[in-house]
Amino acid sequence: MSLCPLVIDLDGTLLNSDLLIESGVAFARAEPFKVFSLLGWLVSCGKAQLKEQLALKVEVDVTTLPYNAQLVEFIEEERRKGREIVLATATHRLYAEQIATHLGIFDRVIATNKETNLSGRNKRDRLIEQFGEKGFDYVGNSHDDLVVWAAARRAYVVNPAPGVVVKAKALGNVEGVFDAPRERVRLWIKGMRFHQWIKNLLIFVPLLASHQVGRPELLLNGLAAFLFFGLCASSVYLLNDVLDLPDDRRHPSKRHRPFASGHVSIKSGLLAIPVLFLSAFVGALWLLPWEFTASLAVYYVLTLVYSIWLKRLIMVDVVVLALLYTLRVVAGTFVFGGVLTFWMLAFSMFIFLSLALVKRYAELKEARNKGETEKTGGRGYYPDDLEMISSLGGSAGYLSIMVLALYIQDPNTVVLYHHPQVIWLACPLLLFWVSRIWLLTHRGHMHDDPVVFAIKDRVSLLVGMLFGAIFWAAT
Number of H helices, E strands in the chain: 22, 6
Of 396, 441, 406, 412, nearest to 427 (Cα)?
406
Does the pLDDT value for residue 368 go beyond 90? no
Residue 181 is predicted with a pLDDT of 61
Does the pLDDT value for residue 263 go beyond 60? yes
Tell me the H-state helices in 135-183. Answer: 146-151, 164-169
Other Cβ atoms less than 10 A from the Cβ of 252: the count is: 10
Contact (Cβ atoms closer than 8 angstroms) between residue 385 and residue 351: no
Most confident among 31-45, 310-324, 408-422 (mean pLDDT): 310-324
Contacts within 8 Å (CB) and 24+ apart, 372-376: none
Give the pLDDT band (50/70/90) at residue 2. low
Contact (Cβ atoms closer than 8 angstroms) between residue 310 and residue 316: yes
User: Could you write out the DSSP letters of every residue in 455-467?
Assistant: HH-HHHHHHHHHH
* Burial of residue 384 (number of CB atoms within 10 Å: 0-12, 13-18, 19+): exposed
Residue 281, amino acid: F
* CA distance linking residue 39 with residue 72, whole number of Å: 34
Does the pLDDT value for residue 183 go beyond 70? no
Mean pLDDT of 146-158: 94
Give how far Cα 362 sits from Cα of 77, 305, 457, Å.
Answer: 42, 23, 16
Residue 448, amino acid: D
Tell me the H-state helices in 202-265. Answer: 205-209, 216-243, 245-250, 258-261
Element at 96 (helix H, strand E): helix 93-103
**Stated pTM of the model:** 0.83
Contact (Cβ atoms closer than 8 angstroms) between residue 365 and residue 386: yes
CB under 8 Å to 172, separation ≥6 — which residues?
A: none
Contact (Cβ atoms closer than 8 angstroms) between residue 460 and residue 435: no
Of 122, 94, 112, 111, nearest to 47 (Cα)?
112
* CA distance linking residue 53 with residue 37, whole number of Å: 10
Does the pLDDT value for residue 357 go beyond 60? yes
Residue 416 is predicted with a pLDDT of 74
Residue 85 is predicted with a pLDDT of 95
Does the pLDDT value for residue 121 go beyond 60? yes
Does the pLDDT value for residue 171 go beyond 80? yes
Mean pLDDT of 233-260: 87
What string of H, E and C letters represents the secondary structure of 268-285? HHHHHHHHHHHHHHHHHH
**Structural domains of the chain ordered from first start:** 6-178 (3.40.50.1000), 184-474 (1.10.600)
Q: What is the mean pLDDT of the chain?
A: 88
* Tens digits of residue pLDDT in 98-111: 999 999 999 999 99
Residue 1 is predicted with a pLDDT of 43
Task: Say which residue, 472 or 61, is predicted with more confidence.
Answer: 61
* CA distance linking residue 146 with residue 120, whole number of Å: 8
**C-alpha dihedral, 218 to 223 to 225 to 229, nearest 10°:** 160
What DSSP state is assigned to residue 161? Answer: P
Residue 135 is predicted with a pLDDT of 93
CB under 8 Å to 429, separation ≥6 — which residues?
A: 463, 466, 467, 470
Packing angle between helix 19-30 and helix 47-57, nearest 10 degrees? 60
Mean pLDDT of 3-12: 93
Give the pLDDT band (50/70/90) at residue 40. confident
Other Cβ atoms less than 10 A from the Cβ of 34: the count is: 12
Of 464, 182, 201, 175, nearest to 332 (Cα)?
201
* CA distance linking residue 430 with residue 411, whole number of Å: 22
pLDDT > 90: percent of the chain = 51
**C-alpha dihedral, 331 to 333 to 334 to 337, nearest 10°:** 160
* CA distance linking residue 386 with residue 157, whole number of Å: 50
